[in-house]
Chains A and B, each alone.
Chain A
Amino acid sequence: MKVDLTTNIGSLKFKNPVLTASGTFGYGLLMNEIFEISELGGIITKSITLSKREGNPVPRIAETACGILNSIGLENKGIDNFFSEILPEIRKLKTNIIASIAGETEHEYGSLAERLDKYVNAFEVNISCPNVKKGGMSFGQDLTSTKRVVKKVREKTSLPLIVKLTPNVTKVEDFGKMSEDNGANAISLVNTYKGLSIDVKRRKSKLGGFTGGLSGPAIKPLALYAVWKIARNVNIPVIGCGGISDFTDAIEFFMAGASLIEVGSATFRDPDASLSILEGIRNFLETEGIKNIKEIIGVIDEN
């Protein structure tokens, strides 16, 4: 039996629902030396900013029980470098390329979308990074700012627009709805949960940037709950992310209402985690006699 794994966001077709999360896969080029990434439904780039960013001081990684705190701080070489060094290479990859964009003002988000329009397959608007002083999560924690950013990007592009939400809010579903109402074609969540870890001997944070964002298996139940809440409140596809480390995790997200998933930190543990998860999903559906992935989306019994 051949299972149908295809899915859509707006007009964009995905051969399967497995994507890689921004900031955990580079631009795909290094990963392509390790495995055939054209097997995946798509890759989401490291967040791109207008000017280059140096990021936060080291240490940028601190491990916690079943998870990672990171404070990278959106290090990237900026959009000009993306055009000259990266784009020509990643356009050769035979999978959907989703550009993650991050600005310090709504206008920066607009300019990024305007310049990248037509060169990529879709946008993921990062309004949820907890590791920067300006922009980032502050947009995703305020409904009016969320609205302004989404509207601005929508004006500048007709490509599918994914808004990536932060779970560091009281009612995440309101942010999903706000994004949908202002032109988003999909919602992705979660970005990391803000956290802290202390070196007791030095009486200092273990991270150079002081606080960090928590990811990995530790956040999976929280992320799954956030995805379930959003999926009940919007009528556009939801992309589930947060701690997905094997195919059962992925199936849980589908059953909670996600149409696609993003694999993040699991790639650090196993570079080809996304591929194994994809194979696992396919095997699961085959074994269960399910012909189309859509048959399991949002199917949990809520009694």
Chain B
Amino acid sequence: MNKIRDYYSTVVNNTLIDNNIYLLEMFLPGFNGMAEPGQFVMIKVNETYDPFLRRPYSILECSKEKMKFLIKIVGKGSKMIAHKKMNDKFNILGPLGVGFRVNSNRYPVLVAGGMGIAPLWFLAKRLNSQKKKFSIIYGERSASPLGDKIKKTFKKKVLLVTDDGSRGLKSTATGALSAFLDNITYKKIVLFSCGPPGMLKEITNFGIKRKIPVSISLEERMGCGIGVCLGCSVKRKNTDGFLTVCKDGPVFRAEEVSI
């Protein structure tokens, strides 16, 4: 695996793409461009001790010496990161964790809710570059510019749904899944999902019921991001003990963890 390094990185571009959501493009000197979809980084917000801890962010895209992130403002740290300007510098530790594994002959259906799109965007890009066929179901509260961007990028592969019916089907992403699978020609499916905890629970249960393998990407409060503080534990399913979201995950097979 790629060695974890701390890159002193420079902001190349930072644009507001949606209400409170920024697309941040970084230059990471020395980064060889290798990372797996689903892997993440720990961003050091600033050089003072407030906030003290780094913040975890999924890799949205990466290439040699470059990484992109989607940053949604939800609190103090994310706000400081979102407001970084061109040429600002800060440290990025990564790539971290275990990403999505796609080596089966099953047809991938990517199910994302809200900001859960970030790791799945990377996965979709990777599948595109491997000329593999796949679909994305993207669920959001209400029609948004981020939804537009997903549609524009992955075109016919995308099914957009909204909670309030302002665009596409009035449904949650998981709610739309069953009918979607019935209407496609592929019968051997694999599901990849990231989104709010409730959605991940639903999709896990759906996978069990329909005997479809599911991989989910989890979020938990993180201290270190590298497996040493045990802050981000998640309970194992069907056996006792814990796994860490940062080191053993963030991507798990749904049958591995109890959420």
* Interface members, chain B 191-205 (any A CB < 8 Å): none
B222 is contacted by which of A33, A61, A65, A216 (Cβ under 8 Å)?
A: A61
* Bound CA–CA A75/B223 (angstroms): 15
Asked if A99 is at the interface (CB within 8 A of a chain B CB), the reply is: no
Q: List, in ascending order, chain A residues with CB within 8 A of B247's CB.
A: 30
* Bound CA–CA A245/B49 (angstroms): 9
Contact-residue size bin, chain B (C-beta under 8 Å from the other chain): 20 to 34
B51 touches A63 (CB 8 A): yes
Q: List, in ascending order, chain B residues with CB within 8 A of A59's CB.
A: 220-221
B54 is contacted by which of A23, A72, A269 (Cβ under 8 Å)?
A: A269
With A52-B241, A58-B233 as contacts: A26 and B220 at CB distance below 8 Å: no
Least distance between B79 CB and chain A CB atoms (Å): 14
* Bound CA–CA A52/B240 (angstroms): 10
A30 touches B228 (CB 8 A): yes
A55 touches B242 (CB 8 A): yes
Asked if B230 is at the interface (CB within 8 A of a chain A CB), the reply is: yes
- Over the window 54-68 of chain A, the binary record of Cβ atoms lying under 8 Å from chain B Cβ atoms (1 yes, 0 no) is 110011111101111
B240 touches A68 (CB 8 A): no
B52 touches A75 (CB 8 A): no
- Over the window 124-166 of chain B, the binary record of Cβ atoms lying under 8 Å from chain A Cβ atoms (1 yes, 0 no) is 0000000000000000000000000000000000000000000
Asked if A195 is at the interface (CB within 8 A of a chain B CB), the reply is: no
Asked if A300 is at the interface (CB within 8 A of a chain B CB), the reply is: no
Query: Across the two chains, which residue of chain A brings its CB closest to B3?
Result: A33
Q: List, in ascending order, chain A residues with CB within 8 A of B224's CB.
A: 24, 267-268, 271
Least distance between B209 CB and chain A CB atoms (Å): 27
B3 touches A63 (CB 8 A): no
B223 touches A268 (CB 8 A): yes
* Bound CA–CA A77/B227 (angstroms): 14
Query: Across the two chains, which residue of chain A brings its CB closest to B1?
Result: A33
A54 touches B240 (CB 8 A): yes
B229 touches A24 (CB 8 A): yes
Q: List, in ascending order, chain B residues with CB within 8 A of A33's CB.
A: 3-4
Q: List, in ascending order, chain A residues with CB within 8 A of B229's CB.
A: 23-24, 61, 70, 72, 268
Q: List, in ascending order, chain B residues with CB within 8 A of A268's CB.
A: 52-54, 223-225, 228-229
A60 touches B231 (CB 8 A): yes
Asked if B6 is at the interface (CB within 8 A of a chain A CB), the reply is: yes
Q: List, in ascending order, chain A residues with CB within 8 A of B227's CB.
A: 26, 30
* Interface members, chain B 208-259 (any A CB < 8 Å): 220-235, 240-242, 247
* Bound CA–CA A65/B91 (angstroms): 20
Query: Across the two chains, which residue of chain B brings its CB closest to A270?
Result: B6
* Bound CA–CA A70/B232 (angstroms): 11
Least distance between A57 CB and chain B CB atoms (Å): 9
Q: List, in ascending order, chain A residues with CB within 8 A of B91's CB.
A: 270
Q: List, in ascending order, chain B residues with CB within 8 A of A54's CB.
A: 235, 240-242
Number of A-B contacts (CB under 8 A): 99
Q: List, in ascending order, chain B residues with CB within 8 A of A60's CB.
A: 221, 230-233
Query: Across the two chains, which residue of chain A brings its CB closest to B44?
Result: A269
* Bound CA–CA A97/B52 (angstroms): 28
A65 is contacted by which of B3, B50, B230 (Cβ under 8 Å)?
A: B50
* Bound CA–CA A67/B53 (angstroms): 8
Asked if B26 is at the interface (CB within 8 A of a chain A CB), the reply is: no
A58 touches B223 (CB 8 A): no
With A54-B241, A267-B224, A271-B93 as contacts: A216 and B49 at CB distance below 8 Å: yes
A216 is contacted by which of B4, B52, B54, B241 (Cβ under 8 Å)?
A: B52
Asked if A34 is at the interface (CB within 8 A of a chain B CB), the reply is: yes
Q: List, in ascending order, chain B residues with CB within 8 A of A245's CB.
A: 49
Least distance between B179 CB and chain A CB atoms (Å): 34
B50 touches A66 (CB 8 A): yes
Asked if A25 is at the interface (CB within 8 A of a chain B CB), the reply is: yes
A61 touches B228 (CB 8 A): no
Q: List, in ascending order, chain B residues with CB within 8 A of A217's CB.
A: 49, 52
* Bound CA–CA A269/B240 (angstroms): 30
Q: List, in ascending order, chain A residues with CB within 8 A of B93's CB.
A: 271
Asked if A86 is at the interface (CB within 8 A of a chain B CB), the reply is: no
- Over the window 3-26 of chain A, the binary record of Cβ atoms lying under 8 Å from chain B Cβ atoms (1 yes, 0 no) is 000000000000000000001111
Q: List, in ascending order, chain A residues with CB within 8 A of B221's CB.
A: 58-62
* Interface members, chain A 159-191 (any B CB < 8 Å): none
* Bound CA–CA A25/B230 (angstroms): 10
Least distance between A201 CB and chain B CB atoms (Å): 12
Q: List, in ascending order, chain A residues with CB within 8 A of B220's CB.
A: 58-59
Q: List, in ascending order, chain A residues with CB within 8 A of B50's CB.
A: 65-66
Least distance between B55 CB and chain A CB atoms (Å): 10
B233 touches A269 (CB 8 A): no
* Bound CA–CA A58/B242 (angstroms): 11
16 CB-based A-B contacts, threshold 8 Å: A23-B229, A24-B228, A26-B227, A54-B240, A54-B242, A58-B221, A60-B231, A61-B53, A61-B221, A61-B223, A61-B232, A63-B52, A75-B242, A216-B49, A268-B223, A272-B6
Name the 8 nearest CB pairs between A and B, nearest first: A26-B228, A61-B231, A268-B224, A66-B49, A217-B49, A59-B221, A61-B221, A60-B231
